[in-house]
Structures are given as C-alpha cells and as structure tokens.
Amino acid sequence: MADPAIVPAPDRPERDLDLVLFGATGFTGGLTAAYLARNAPHGLRWALAGRNQDKLAAVRDRLAESGADVEGLELLRADVTDRASLDALAGRARVVITTVGPYLTHGEPLVAACAAAGTDYVDLTGEPEFVDRMYLAHHATAERTGARIVHACGFDSVPHDLGALHTVQELQAEGPVTVRGVVRADAKFSGGTFHSAVTAVSRARQMREAAAERRRVEPRPAGRSSRAVAGRPHRDPVLGWWLLPMPTIDPYVVARSGAALPAYGPEFRYSHYAGTTTLPYAVGGVVGVGALALGAQVGPLRRAMLNRVKQGEGPSAERRERSWFSVDFVGEGGGRTVRTRVSGGDPGYDETAKMLAESALCLAFDDNPPTAGQVTTAQAMGANLTARLRAAGMRFETLD
C-alpha cells in the first residue's frame, strides 16, 4: 500500500523507528521483509532484527537484489536469551513484528519488553497456551503503558476474526447471534509451523490449565456473553458440506472479539470447522489430525516427528503460487441468515506475511479505536485492517 503521507497514529510514543521486524532470517520473516520492502509507504523507518548479523545482512542483500530501496535499512542484533537486547529493540520502535517461534519456547521475553516499554507488538502465534500465559503475565502492564499486544496476526486468526466481524456487521441482528466459520484450503506448511503445532498439541494439559487460570481472572462483559462453542462433525444444511470441528486458536480469538465489541450483540456464539465436500476426506482428516495429536504426546515419537521436518524451510514459490484458502461464514440471528466469505492465495506464508505486515502498518499509521493491553485484530484495528487487506488483494464478500 504505497502511501507517501506518513502520519503517526495519534497518541503513540515517538521513536526513531516505525517498525522492527524480529526473525527476519526465518522463512516467514523473510517473506514479511520482502512484502514490506515492496509495499511499505515511502519513508518508512524500519529495521531488520535477529541473532545472526551475517544472516540479516544476507536478507538485506536479497531485498536489494529484488530492486527494493534498502538505503538506511538498519540491522539490529537481538536474541531472545538476551533481555537487554530486546529492551533496546522495544525502546526504539513504535511497533515490533516478531516471527520468532515456537512462541511458547521463544516468545515471552519480547512480549514482556514491549509491554514494559509501551511498544505495540504483533506476532504469528497459533498457540492458545502462549496467548493465555501472556495475558496473565503482561496484559495489566501493557494496559498501563498503552502497548497494544496483538497475537495471531497471520492466517491464525486474521481471516476468521475479521470475517466474523464482517458477518455480524452484515447481519445487523438485535438479539442472540450464532456464527460458524468453515475453512477450506489447499496449501503446505513450513518447518517452523510444524514445530510450533507439535509443541502446542504436546501440551494439552498445560493449555487447559492456562485457559482455566485466565477464565478465573479475566473480567466478563457486563450484560453480554460471547463464547466459542465446540461443534461436532455434521453435514451443514446451509453450505451442503461435511464440517469437522477445528481445534485451533481461531474460535477463542473470535470469541474474545465478541466479548470486547458490542457489535456482536448480547449473546454471541462462534464455532469453527474445516469443510470438505466428501465424507472420505472428512474421515481421513479426523484420523490424520488424531494421529498427529496422539504422536505428539509421546516424547520419542514427538522428537522423531520434529527431526523429520527442518526449521527455516517452507513451501517453494511455485507451490505457494498454486495454494489458496477460503473461509465461509454463516451468521444467524434475528430471524435472518447471511453468508459471507474471506478468501485469498497461499494462506500460511504469502497471505500471512501480508496480514502480519499490514497489521503492523495499521497499528503504526491508522486512526484506530483507543485500546491497550492484549487485544485482538478485530478489537484493535477492525475495519482499518480489513480495508488494508482488501486493497492488498484479499477478498471479503457477502454472498447472500
């Protein structure tokens, strides 16, 4: 989104850098750097950060070879094991982007640094336990300093969060509203995503404990309720597809937006599914996910799985070119039904890099509603981020 007029969003701390991208040497970090180099507004003050200066310099060289203007693009050394390096990074930037995962392993020190410094933060986590632990440990500090801590700014969970918001706005029902989101995709994942997913599912008990602790302390909206409801496998009467409940972070993010924003009505329920047109695919999906989840519980099996997939690598440009996703939403309330769809290209990487970079630009430059602490994409940016993603080629449609 080339916009020459850079005006900082009101009331944000003045820093010498607009954005810092931490993890620029990784697979998704490299794609995010390339997206920013191609699409960032002229005059953006940004830097690449990572633990290895030579690898960072190689990323900057690749950007220059692709024709990007990298004059003045700084390289900052930062390591998650060196808190002072993260404090320095958070102290210089208005927004920090991080692709350093698995977040349960590497994520907390940077969230702590950004919350303390009043610096906006975006990441790509899909790990519910990480998000709950960060709420418990750093939400209050971020609320006090004004930092907006926005997790899950990639395929987890931007299309689902903004798609559900779009659906309730189209429905405009007075009373209770239910929305179901149905994901279909053809795509491959990276080593980093595989490691994060296996780490997350191997910690089912810890995940439940963190969620329960959060429920005990998090205030509920007065006079309203918003909940993620685990569905069951069924054939959907409106869509005509087989739906399988998808135990990802997305329904929790959507429900949190429902709790934060009155637009979702007095009683909001969201369920999240994978959709397929044929029953054998549905059965195969259940068996595949179940086998991965079971294998991840057993130490030696988990290590064997992780050793087979290397971090730092991901699907080729040709494979990503053929990849696609769509999320169909059915919203019901006030006697009406609406169908909407969010869709785009390669979900996990090309579109994720776009969503992550546009989220950071949106926090830095758009006039968003005043929020602070741990907030969702719908809550912190809503229509501004939807407008950016539409302009960048993602589709948000109302079907009927």
Q: Measure the CA angle with vertex 49, ends 45 and 54; round to 5°.
A: 120
Residue 55 buriedness (CB in 10 A; 0-12 / 13-18 / 19+): middle
Compare residues 177 and 323 and give the one whose CB is closer to ligand NAP: 323
Q: Shortest gap between Cβ of 253 and ligand NAP (angstroms)?
A: 11
**Residue 83 or 235: which CB sits closer to ligand NAP?**
83
Residue numbers at the binding site for ligand NAP (CB under 6 A):
23, 25-29, 50-52, 55, 79-81, 99-103, 106, 124, 126, 154-156, 190-193, 196, 311-312, 314, 348, 352
> Shortest gap between Cβ of 318 and ligand NAP (angstroms)?
18
- 107: closest CA among 138, 76, 77, 142? 138
Contact by Cβ (8 Å): 268, 168? yes
- Is 126 or 251 the residue whose CB approaches ligand NAP more closely? 126
Please classify residue 73 by burial: count the beta carbons closer than 10 Å to its beta carbon, then call 0-12 exposed, 13-18 middle and 19+ buried. buried
Q: Closest distance between ligand NAP and the C-beta of residue 388, in Å?
A: 17
Q: How far is the CB of 358 from ligand NAP (least distance, A)?
A: 14
φ, ψ (nearest 5 deg) of residue 359: -60, -45
Are the beta carbons of 353 and 34 closer than 8 angstroms? yes
- DSSP secondary structure, 281-318, as one string: HHHHHHHHHHHHHHHHHSHHHHHHHHHHS-TT----HH
Q: How far is the CB of 225 from ligand NAP (least distance, A)?
A: 27
Minimum distance from residue 24 beta carbon to ligand NAP (Å): 7
Count of helix runs (H) and strand runs (E) in the chain: 16, 15
